[in-house]
Amino acid sequence: MVRFGIAGFGLHAVKRLMPGFALSKNCTVTGLSRRDIAKARESAREFHIPLAFDSAAELARSAKVDAVFVTTPNSCHLRDVLTAIEAGKPVLCEKPLAMNAAEARQMVEAARRKNVLFGVAHVFRFDESVRKLREHVASGAIGEPIFARSEFSFLGTRSHPRKWMFDASIAGAGPIFDIGVHCIDTLRFILQDEVVRVSTTAVSDKESGNVEAAATMTLEFSRGTLGTVLVSFRADYRTPLEIVGDNGVLYADDAVNVERPIEIELKRGNEILSRETVSNRMAYGLQVDAFADWIEGKAQFPAPGEEGWRNQEILDAALRSIQSGKTESVPRVISRI
């Protein structure tokens, strides 16, 4: 049983991570950290977690913690990841990995030097819906992918519990970072291809602080597929995925939700060739079990830190595009051989 410590135990830990750990087969949570030790102890009591700390450093040093799951705000990721690496603990970090690609690279290189396992929590890679779409595309079910579309929206204002989402100094950006990174990673994973150029348009409003409220990104993939990503803090919750090939279309409405079944359709012309219902209920449990398997040498984790670095290079290019008004190139990230 791999014992995890959660650094930055907040809304995400309560809403998603703890239910995921409850579904896992080979993981348990033995510690948590919050900035306020009284609140840390309160959370520990509520969720029956043995250890409570007021810093990620103390959490990482605990002999009763085998791996650290960093879920602090984005601007804290670099510090907390490096702290866990320095303590020699395998570390899984929430997305987006960093505030910029330079920070992401620093984390990856530190983990390499210390020979510490380092992953990024791109949980949609563990969605059954996403894996089914990936399998269909790989099998040639729709021919060559021409277009790929991912949307993610939810209603978010400054009354949202994560108020820091509207402060660029903490969040890095708005929905481009918060949910756009999910869309980008999901399309990369489904297509098994890399983004080489990106063009972005974004809008802000009185509620969005100093970050964008909505954005659209056009992604150019190395094998010619054109991707579109639409993200917003202003629209109702929706997460459709669509892959259009030269011989068919794959579509799933609300494709990455974990609460309800998802229907995947394979269409050719006006004919529905197949319709399959899947569930993503196990995604968060599968994610931590996969990381535990990596620690125990059973299997490679599907989202090592380099994947977070790659996505961060795309995010940086997207922000450059907003400023320049031009299409921006995405630097390559080389995996360690």
**pLDDT tens across 121-138, in order?**
999 999 999 999 999 999
Per-residue pLDDT band for 158 (boundaries 50, 70, 90) equals low
Same domain, 82 and 131: no
Residue 12 counted as domain residue? yes
- Across residues 309-333, what is the average pLDDT? 97
Mean pLDDT over the full length of the chain: 96
* Amino acid identity at 35: R
pLDDT of residue 336: 67
Per-residue pLDDT band for 337 (boundaries 50, 70, 90) equals very low
Residue with tokens 């520990």: 44
If one compares 39 and 161, the residue with the highest pLDDT of the two is 39
Same domain, 60 and 134: no
- Across residues 101-113, what is the average pLDDT? 98
- Across residues 73-80, what is the average pLDDT? 98
Residue 334 counted as domain residue? no
Same domain, 192 and 101: no
User: Is pLDDT of 51 > 60?
Assistant: yes
pTM of the shown model: 0.96
- Across residues 309-331, what is the average pLDDT? 98
Residue 56 counted as domain residue? yes
Residue 188 counted as domain residue? yes
Q: What is the pLDDT of residues 292-316, one digit of tens each?
A: 999 999 999 999 999 999 999 999 9
Instruction: Give the C-alpha separation, 250 to 267, whole Å.
Output: 6
Same domain, 140 and 61: no
CATH of the domain at 321: 3.30.360.10
* Cα atoms found within 13 Å of the Cα of residue 241, Cβ hemisphere only: 30
Closest by alpha carbon to 179, among 108, 257, 101, 243? 257
User: Is pLDDT of 334 > 90?
Assistant: no
- Axis-axis angle for helices 128-139, 180-191 (nearest 10): 40
Same domain, 114 and 158: no
Same domain, 87 and 235: no
In the chain, the number of structural domains is 2
User: Is pLDDT of 45 > 80?
Assistant: yes
Per-residue pLDDT band for 35 (boundaries 50, 70, 90) equals very high
pLDDT of residue 160: 66
Q: What is the pLDDT of residues 201-222, one digit of tens each?
A: 999 998 888 999 999 999 999 9
User: Is pLDDT of 157 > 90?
Assistant: no
Same domain, 143 and 235: yes
Instruction: Give the C-alpha separation, 322 to 318, whole Å.
Output: 7
- Across residues 73-87, what is the average pLDDT? 98
Closest by alpha carbon to 217, among 122, 317, 69? 317
Same domain, 89 and 196: no
CATH of the domain at 55: 3.40.50.720
pLDDT of residue 250: 98
Residue 336 counted as domain residue? no
- Across residues 142-162, what is the average pLDDT? 87
Q: What strand order describes the sheet that includes 67-70?
A: 51-53, 27-33, 2-7, 67-70, 91-94, 118-121
Instruction: Give the C-alpha separation, 288 to 92, whole Å.
Output: 9
Q: What is the pLDDT of residues 222-273, one digit of tens each?
A: 999 999 999 999 999 999 999 999 999 999 999 999 999 999 999 999 999 9
CB 56 within 8 A of CB 68: yes
Same domain, 115 and 25: yes
Same domain, 100 and 191: no
Same domain, 139 and 219: yes
Residue 187 counted as domain residue? yes
Residue 325 counted as domain residue? yes
pLDDT of residue 46: 98
Residue 337 counted as domain residue? no
Same domain, 151 and 261: yes
Instruction: Tell me the residue range of the domain where 179 lies.
Output: 124-280+313-329
If one compares 262 and 163, the residue with the highest pLDDT of the two is 262
pLDDT of residue 159: 63
**What share of the chain in percent tops pLDDT 90?**
93
